[in-house]
Amino acid sequence: MPHPDEPTLVAYVAEHSSATALAVYDATDPAAAFAALRAAAGEISQIRHPDEPHSGLPNWCAVLDEDGVPVLRLDMKDEIRYSALVVRIVLDRLAAGGVDGRLAPKRPPESPFRYDPNADRYSGMEPLTQLDERGLPPGFPAGFPVPEQATLVLAQRGRDGVAEHAAWRRSTGAFPGYLDRLRAFGCTFGPVPRLLTARDHGTVRYTLWRDGAGGSVTLYQSAAARRPGSTLYWYVSVVWQQRAEPPATAVEPDEAPDMRPIPTGPAAAREVAEFLAPAPLVAGYETVMALATAARAIDGLVSAPPDPADRRPRPAVIAGRLTHLLGRLDREQLSTVRHVCLTMVTNILATGRRPRPRGLRLVADENGHLYAADLRDGVREAVSSEDLPAFEAGTAVAQSAPMIIEGLSGLRDAPVPPPADRYAWLFAGLSPQHLAATRDACWRILTPT
C-alpha cells in the first residue's frame, strides 16, 4: 500500500544517496522499530551492485541507536535509481513489524555552538550535540585554557571516538599570548611539516603533548583576508586525544605565521608521511605521493596534441614521449612500477569503491607482475617492443593515480594518525621492496640530471 510520505522519502534518499539517514520517531515499541530497520538493512545489503554482481549495492548499511532513536544509515554512492526500492523495503519491514511512529530523515540535533565552515578542517568527524559545564568537548583536560574574547564555532568528536576538536573565532585580531598559555598549562610543542601549513593564510601550527595526552593547535586567518570588503576572522583550532606520544623534537612556539620555504621531493614526502600516517603505512604513503607527483608530469605528455607532421598512430607518439621521460628506468623498474599501480587498482576494485572499468583484464607476466592484457593487445602493432615497457608503466601511473589518491582520501585531513588497518587494504599484496622500488623510480624520473 502506498505511504503518504513515500515520494518525499524517495526524493530525500536520492538526494542523499551516499549519506542516507532514515529515523523512526515516536514509536510505541522502539525495540520493534530497531528490529524492523535491521531486517530492512539486511535486505538492502542483499541487493546486488549493477556493475559488480558479486558485490552488494551499499558501501555501508547499518542501524544505529542515536539518542534512543533507531536510525538506518546507508551509503550507496550515486546509485539513486535504487532510492524507491530502498524506501519501499524500509516501509514494508516497518509495516510487517507492526511499527507505529513516523519514518523521516534524521533531524540534526540543535547545535550548542555557532557553526562556521571555515573551522571545519578535519575529515572523519561528527559534531558534538552537548558540551560539558566548561563549554568544551568532555575529553579536554581540566583547566584547559580557553581562548579569550572568542566565540566557539565548532566542537567535534572523531567517529572512532579517539580525538576531539574545538575551534574558536574572533574578528578583533589575532590571539597573542595563547601559545604561552598552553605552555604554562604544561604543553610541549612539536613541529608540523611546512607542506601542511601552506594552504591557509597566516597559519601557525604545532603538535601538543601533556602527560601522555595531546594533539595539535592551529592559529590561522579566514580566506576572507584575501577578499576586499569581506570580514576578516582569526581562528584557534585545537585537537585533543587521551593518548599521544611526545614529539621526537620539542620546539619553542612562535606566534609568527609559518613562512618557511615550501619543500619538495623525497625528503618532503617522507616528512609528511611520517607525520600523517601510522608507522606501517609510511612507506605506502610515500609511494603514493611519489606516484601522484609523477602522474602530473606524465599527464602532460599523454594529453599534449601530436605534432601535425607526425603521422604515427597516437599510441606510438605517446609511447615515444613516455620512453623519453622514463628512459632512466630499466625494464625491471618499469615492470615494478606498473605492477604496483595495477595491484593497488585491483585492491580498490575489490572493495567496491570504484566500478570495474570495461576492458581492464589484468594478467600476471612470467615474473608475477600484473599488466593490462587488453591494452597490450590493442597497441601491439603501434608500439614497438622497445617502447612498450615505458608506455605500459606510464599509462598505469597516469590512469591509476586518481583512484589511488582517492583510496587514501581522509588521511591528509585526519585530526590524528588513524589506525593502520583503515588504509592497509590499499597495499595488500605489495612488499616493502615493491613500494620502495616504485617510490624511488618515480623520484628518479622527476629529478633533473
- pLDDT, tens digit, 9 for 90 and up, residues 70-82: 999 999 878 899 9
Rounded CA gap, 181 and 179, in Å?
5
Do 215 and 290 have their domain in common? Answer: no
* pLDDT at site 82: 93
The pLDDT tens digits of the residues spanning 201-217 come to 679 999 999 999 999 99
For the chain, which ranges sit under pLDDT 50? 1, 225
State percent of the chain over pLDDT 90.
73
- Domain assignment present for 266: no
- Domain assignment present for 274: no
* pLDDT at site 1: 47
Strand (E) or helix (H) holding 389 = helix 388-407
The pLDDT tens digits of the residues spanning 224-248 come to 545 566 788 999 999 999 999 999 9
Q: Which domain holds residue 146?
A: 117-260
* pLDDT at site 226: 55
Torsions phi, psi for 188 (to 5 deg): -100, 140
Do 130 and 75 have their domain in common? Answer: no
The number of folded domains in the chain is: 3
* pLDDT at site 229: 64
Q: Could you say which of 105, 139, 173 is where a domain stops?
A: 105
Do 251 and 397 have their domain in common? Answer: no
Q: What is the CATH number of the domain that holds 45?
A: 3.30.70
Q: Could you say which of 72, 105, 138 is where a domain stops?
A: 105
Do 298 and 428 have their domain in common? Answer: yes
Inter-CA distances, 323 with 274, 276, 369, 386, 399, Å: 33, 34, 20, 9, 17
- Domain assignment present for 111: no
What number of H helices and E strands is found in the chain? Answer: 11, 13
- Domain assignment present for 190: yes
Do 123 and 88 have their domain in common? Answer: no
The pLDDT tens digits of the residues spanning 316-329 come to 999 999 999 999 99
- Domain assignment present for 302: yes
Do 203 and 337 have their domain in common? Answer: no
Do 100 and 124 have their domain in common? Answer: no
Strand (E) or helix (H) holding 175 = none
Q: Could you say which of 71, 105, 139 is where a domain stops?
A: 105
Strand (E) or helix (H) holding 379 = helix 373-379
Do 294 and 430 have their domain in common? Answer: yes
Do 139 and 227 have their domain in common? Answer: yes
Strand (E) or helix (H) holding 298 = helix 282-303
Do 175 and 235 have their domain in common? Answer: yes
Buried b (16+ CB within 10 A) or exposed e, 237-262: bbbbbeebeebeeeeebeeebbeeee
- Domain assignment present for 110: no
- Domain assignment present for 427: yes
Do 294 and 254 have their domain in common? Answer: no
What SS3 class is residue 137?
coil
What SS3 class is residue 166?
strand
- Domain assignment present for 287: yes
Rounded CA gap, 259 and 261, in Å?
6
Do 254 and 290 have their domain in common? Answer: no
